[in-house]
């Protein structure tokens, strides 16, 4: 079987590595030049995009910002999973909010702004602590602005002046005092069967995910169930096929949807070593019509992103349960170079291992690691 | 890092897939035409063997029958792990027996035969039930003959008449009434550190491995310890670096070495899903100087070889803990096409899963499966 993935980054690479043993050949599309490339080497394959589409058993995406004309071409093949509508929902916050409203899933109070002056009424309605997000092309903290008090408004208006808000509106959200960020990742197959991984807790720094812990600590059954219900409503509401990630804010016992990613997700990379069937494997199973695999966690896991650096000793592999996943990229600031998965039998042990790990890693690139190690030790049941 | 593997079959492919996330690029050598090829696609890579050797951080083998001139070239680079001597021991039963004698590890009573007439004295010394094995190029049951009573001797002598026993001697072994076949797989790194996986029990059919179960049932601590001691003596005796497999006959509480394989081994494929760090991963770690990973089993596992067929439904993936590993080959009789790993929490559950698996698979190609399912159910503690 063949699966063609739009996007040729690490997610396509990890799909390739998981697909190969299942007899699924994954090819990737570099959406910048529309070339079909090998997902690991990134070398052009001797095949046109049209031919690759014709050959493929399924088409899918590794990121939501695929040019629309490519998505339309893919959709016309009748083999694109998830659907073009689902991908576009992930690429456009206005569509996303519209979906959330339509299916009645709780999310941040917000307004859609197409003219700068509408910001005044946003403050009246949502308060003066706001996050402004470009509806499209937002990625890892780019295209976002914050307002913490109304006195900053005029400066912000100046900043935003050049933007064409009619074609790319802003979604303005109330800044929430949430307890933490979690995410629920699951998969839905062509028969509508759903499997959901346990909630992960996500630690961000300067707009980028740094550490995920799964299962998230102190998750009640009710909270996990709430997340699974949200996942199910969204996946069924979109007729979704494949892996879907839903980022959530936890406010007390309530979960609010922050963002939907119509794809495998960074906060699910722990599944490569912490579950029997990874998110990449389950995504391929769903889009090719194979039976879904188990989505429970075998151990407790931490996923640590390697961002903007690669110079540290691989001797960290001496820590039991510690696995390196490099993406084969050259170093750039803020670039995700790889990740480290750590598994343990319990959270206290996971904390110990993260502390051990931090001794191998340059602190400036892993600012959350030591604190997270301490937190796991302190929060975990004795 | 780069690792060059002599041999371009499934073992090189599985090394490639495990190496990629660790930042290790595995290339393969097709030893028939001495071309450097991609371990998955088998396509020639645009590089000479000499250049690939120069580029590589380590050279290794996926099978022991690499032409000697290639091994010598590899050895001259100073980067071949395991050493040429270790590989040649695996390729030559006379050298193998010599090692076993030298380090004092128990094995089958045997004689080396270089002239047909020596078979008479073999019968006198070892009895009339004998296995005759060509010292070289024996592979999966080829190049072996049996004598079950002395009256068959003259017919056997006729069969052997054409062989040049001076250059390829026979190793003649007493046919043992062993209880079962097990194997111990472990890894030794450049510092001499050793990690050993639990003993696996191996079920053969017509000279080919069909099913491995790991850990083997009813292994006492003393027996596992005995196997680890044998492994350690052999690995240290050869100054071995990398994964080494030792096939053993269990006779009561005694283990006798049957065969040594200086490489990752079919009976260790269960480690891909049943341990934290697979044999392929640990082999790459050892030969590149990375710290070794954990070698204990996370669950109980069965590995089922797919031999000479590929026509069955992938719906077997609906069995929890069931994983398919295809090698990307075209079907031929007796050819290993792939394998299926099954993990479970206990042996009774493993038996249930093998029974469920047998319903998806053509019986003629999986003759051991149903019996093994029954045996696991009957032998496992309630």
CA A18 to chain B, closest CA, distance in angstroms equals: 9
Cα-Cα end-to-end distance for chain A: 48
CB atoms within 10 A of CB B326: 19
The answer on whether B6 is annotated among ligand-binding residues is no
End-to-end C-alpha distance for chain B, whole angstroms: 48
- Closest-CA residue of A relative to B323 is A22
What is the ipTM metric for this complex?
Answer: 0.94
B258 is annotated as contributing to ligand binding: yes
- Asked if B293 lies within 8 A of A317 by C-beta distance, the reply is yes
**Distance between CA atoms of B331 and B346, rounded to whole angstroms?**
33
Q: What 3-state class would DSSP assign to A272?
A: helix
Burial label for B76, CB within 10 Å (0-12, 13-18, 19+), is exposed
Is B2 part of any known ligand binding site?
no
Question: Which residues share a beta bridge with A186?
Answer: A196, A244
Q: Give burial (CB, 10 Å; 0-12/13-18/19+) of A352.
A: middle
Report the alpha-carbon distance of residue B169 to residue B110 in Å, rounded: 13
Strand, coil or helix: what is A239?
A: coil
Q: Is B44 helix (H, G, I), strand (E, B) or coil?
A: strand
Give the closest-approach CA distance of B332 to chain A in angstroms: 17
CA geometry: angle B138, B73, B232, nearest 5 deg: 55
Alpha helices in A109-192 (DSSP H): 118-126, 153-160
What is the pLDDT tens value at each position of chain A, 382 positions in all? 999 999 999 999 999 999 999 999 999 999 999 999 999 999 999 999 999 999 999 999 999 999 999 999 999 999 999 999 999 999 999 999 999 999 999 999 999 999 999 999 999 999 999 999 999 875 455 688 999 999 999 999 999 988 889 988 999 999 999 999 999 999 999 999 999 999 999 999 998 999 999 999 999 999 999 999 999 999 999 999 999 999 999 999 999 999 999 999 999 999 999 999 999 999 999 999 999 999 999 999 999 999 999 999 999 999 999 999 999 999 999 999 999 999 999 999 999 999 999 999 999 999 989 999 999 998 766 5
* B143 is annotated as contributing to ligand binding: yes
Give me the residue from A17, A291, A314 closest to B20, CB to CB: A17
- Which residues of chain B have a Cβ shorter than 8 Å from any chain A Cβ? 13-14, 17, 20-23, 40, 273, 276, 285, 290-294, 298, 314-315, 317-318, 320-321, 323-326, 328, 338, 343
Nearest to A315 among B17, B291, B326 (CB): B291
Reported confidence tier of residue B161, pLDDT bands at 50, 70, 90? confident
Q: In whole angstroms, what is the distance from residue B36 CA to residue A281 CA?
A: 29
Secondary structure class of B42 (helix, strand, coil):
coil
Question: B230 or A207: which carries more pLDDT confidence?
Answer: B230
Beta bridge partners of A246: A184, A260
For residue A321, the chain B residues in CB contact (below 8 A) are 276, 294
Question: In Å, what is the CA distance from A184 to each residue of A121, A214, A219, A268, B142?
Answer: 33, 10, 12, 9, 53
Closest chain A C-alpha to B261 CA, distance in angstroms: 24
Q: According to the annotation, is A157 in a ligand binding site?
A: no
User: Measured between CA atoms, how close is A261 to chain B, in angstroms?
Assistant: 24
Residues in chain B with CB shorter than 8 Å from the CB of A293 are 317, 320
Say how many CB pairs under 8 Å bridge A and B.
Answer: 76
Residues of A in contact with B320 (CB under 8 A): 276, 293-294
- Does the annotation list A274 as a binding residue? no
Quick check: helix, strand or coil at residue B253? coil
Count CB-CB contacts under 10 A for residue B291: 17
Helices (H), chain B: 10-19, 49-55, 68-76, 84-91, 93-103, 118-126, 153-160, 221-238, 271-274, 279-288, 347-358, 369-379
Please tell me the distance from the alpha carbon of residue A153 to that of residue A113, in angstroms, as a whole number: 14
Residues of B whose CB is below 8 A from A14 = 21
A225 is in an annotated binding site: no
Q: Helix or strand or coil: residue B74? A: helix
Segment B283-319, tens digit of pLDDT: 999 999 999 999 999 999 999 999 999 999 999 999 9
Residue B104, sorted as left (phi over 0), alpha (psi -120 to 50) or beta, turns out to be left
Question: Which residues on B lie below 8 Å from A298 (Cβ)?
Answer: 298
User: Of the candidates B68, B188, B215, which has an alpha carbon nearest to the alpha carbon of residue B137?
Assistant: B68
Using the predicted structure, report yes or no on whether residue B382 has a pLDDT greater than 60: no
CB B363 within 8 A of CB B357: no
**Chain A residues close to B328, C-beta within 8 Å:** 20, 23
Q: What is the maximal distance between C-alpha atoms in chain B?
A: 60
Give me the residue label for tokens 């292994």: B219
Q: Distance from B232 to chain A by nearest Cα, in Å?
A: 21
In whole numbers, what is the pLDDT of chain B averaged over residues? Answer: 95
Tokens of A250: 């936890």
DSSP state of B126: H
Nearest chain A Cα to B282, which residue?
Answer: A317
> Buried (b) or exposed (e) across A171-189, using 16+ Cβ within 10 A?
bbbbeeebeebbbbbbbbb
Contacts of A315 in chain B (CB under 8 A): 290-291
CA distances from residue A58 to A27, A263, A354, B66 in whole angstroms, order as listed = 11, 14, 39, 40
A143 is in an annotated binding site: yes
**Residue of B17, B273, B317 lying closest to A291 (CB–CB):** B317
Q: What's the pLDDT tens digit per position in B200-221?
A: 999 999 989 999 999 999 999 9
Give every CB contact of residue B148 below 8 A, 6+ residues apart in sequence: B128, B129, B175
HSE-CB for B201 with a 13 A CA cutoff = 18
- Rounded Cα–Cα distance for residues A368 and A358 (Å): 10
Alpha-carbon distance B144 to B39, whole Å? 31
H/E stretch holding A25 reads: strand A25-30
CA distance B157 to chain A (A): 46
Written as six digits, the tokens of A172 are: 């303005």
Q: Which residue, A109, A131, A108, is CA-closest to A119?
A: A131
CA–CA separation, B316 and B309 (whole Å): 15
- Best mutation site among B38, B40, B295, B314 for testing chain A: the one with the most A CBs within 10 Å? B314
List, in order of start, the domains of chain B with CATH numbers: 2-80 (3.40.50.20), 109-174 (3.30.1490.20), 180-379 (3.30.470.20)
> Which chain A residues touch B276 with a CB distance below 8 Å?
273, 320-321, 343
Q: Residue A94 burial (CB < 10 Å; 0-12/13-18/19+)?
A: middle
Find the Cα–Cα–Cα–Cα dihedral A4, A5, A6, A9, rounded to 10°: -140
CA angle A228, A233, A239 (to 5 degrees): 120
Q: Residue B232 class from Cβ within 10 Å (0-12 exposed, 13-18 middle, 19+ buried)?
A: middle
| pLDDT for the residue A161 | 87
């Amino acid at each position: 079987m063949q699966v063609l993935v739009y996007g040729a980054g690490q997610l396509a690479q990890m799909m390739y590595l998981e697909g190969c043993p299942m007899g699924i050949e994954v090819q990737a599309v570099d959406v910048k030049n529309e070339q079909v490339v090998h997902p690991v080497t990134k070398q052009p394959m001797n095949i046109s995009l049209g031919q690759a589409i014709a050959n493929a058993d399924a088409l899918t995406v590794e990121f939501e910002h695929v040019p629309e004309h490519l998505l339309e071409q893919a959709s016309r093949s009748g083999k694109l999973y998830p659907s073009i509508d689902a991908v576009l929902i992930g690429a456009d916050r206005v569509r996303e909010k519209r979906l959330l409203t339509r299916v009645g899933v709780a999310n941040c109070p917000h307004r859609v702004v197409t003219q700068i002056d509408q910001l005044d009424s946003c403050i009246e309605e949502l308060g003066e602590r706001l996050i402004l997000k470009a509806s499209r092309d937002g990625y890892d903290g780019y295209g976002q602005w914050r307002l913490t008090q109304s006195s900053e408004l005029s400066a912000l208006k100046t900043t935003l002046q050049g933007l064409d808000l009619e074609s790319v509106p802003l979604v303005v959200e109330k800044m929430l005092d949430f307890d933490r960020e979690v995410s629920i990742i699951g998969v839905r197959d062509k028969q509508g069967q759903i499997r959901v991984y346990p909630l992960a807790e996500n630690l961000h720094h300067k707009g980028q995910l740094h550490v995920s812990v799964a299962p998230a600590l102190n998750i009640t059954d009710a909270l996990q169930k709430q997340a699974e219900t949200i996942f199910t409503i969204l996946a069924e509401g979109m007729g979704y096929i494949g892996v879907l990630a839903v980022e959530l804010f936890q406010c007390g016992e309530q979960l609010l949807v922050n963002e939907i990613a119509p794809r495998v997700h960074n906060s699910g990379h722990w599944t490569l070593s912490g579950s029997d069937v990874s998110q990449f494997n389950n995504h391929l199973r769903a889009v090719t019509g194979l039976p879904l695999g188990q989505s429970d966690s075998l151990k407790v896991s931490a996923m640590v992103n390697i961002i903007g650096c690669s110079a540290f000793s691989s001797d960290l592999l001496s820590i039991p349960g510690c696995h390196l996943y490099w993406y084969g990229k050259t170093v750039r600031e803020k670039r995700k170079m790889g990740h480290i998965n750590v598994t343990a039998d319990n959270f206290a042990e996971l904390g110990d291992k993260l502390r051990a790990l931090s001794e191998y890693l340059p602190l400036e690139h892993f600012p959350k690691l030591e604190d997270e190690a301490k937190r796991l030790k302190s929060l975990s049941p004795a």
